[in-house]
Amino acid sequence: MNSKVASEGSKFDALKWVFVVVLVTAGVVGNSIYGEQSLFYRVVALLVMALVAGFVALQTEKGQAFFTLFKEAKAEVRKVVWPTRQETLQTTMIVVVAVLIIGLLLWGLDSLLSWLVSGVIG
């Protein structure tokens, strides 16, 4: 029975995605056609169309999978232990010093090689 539901959902999913594409296309074309209208009205119309397209997309199987992934990613971000201000400053200073040292080494190597090459070719 579940395979029937999944196959019917897949048939309607394609139709839903076509509707989403038509909505997005209508928004883009409508925005360019009504370019002389007030920006406020065009933005409101585009937001409404985007909300409707998003709602329809979330009704599909892939849309629901994306929403689930989004919720799980949001939960994972909450679990992250962010560094303190002091740790961030120390790490930044280490990176800056390392970049300066490597930059000086590369500058010295470049100068040495330039001096050698100019000595060889005169």
At 122 the pLDDT is 76
At 1 the pLDDT is 47
- Each as own residue / partner, the long-range contacts of residues 4-8 (CB below 8 Å, 24 or more positions apart, any chain) are 6/61
Percent of all residues in the chain with a pLDDT value above 70, rounded to a whole number: 92
In contact, 76 and 39? CB cutoff 8 Å:
no
Q: How far apart are CA 55 and CA 52, in angstroms?
A: 5
Tokens at 24, concatenated: 């997005």
pLDDT digits over 66-98, tens only?
999 999 999 999 999 999 999 999 999 999 999
| In the chain, where the domains are located | 1-80, 82-122
In contact, 27 and 49? CB cutoff 8 Å:
yes
Give the amino acid at 28: V
Overall pTM > 0.85: no
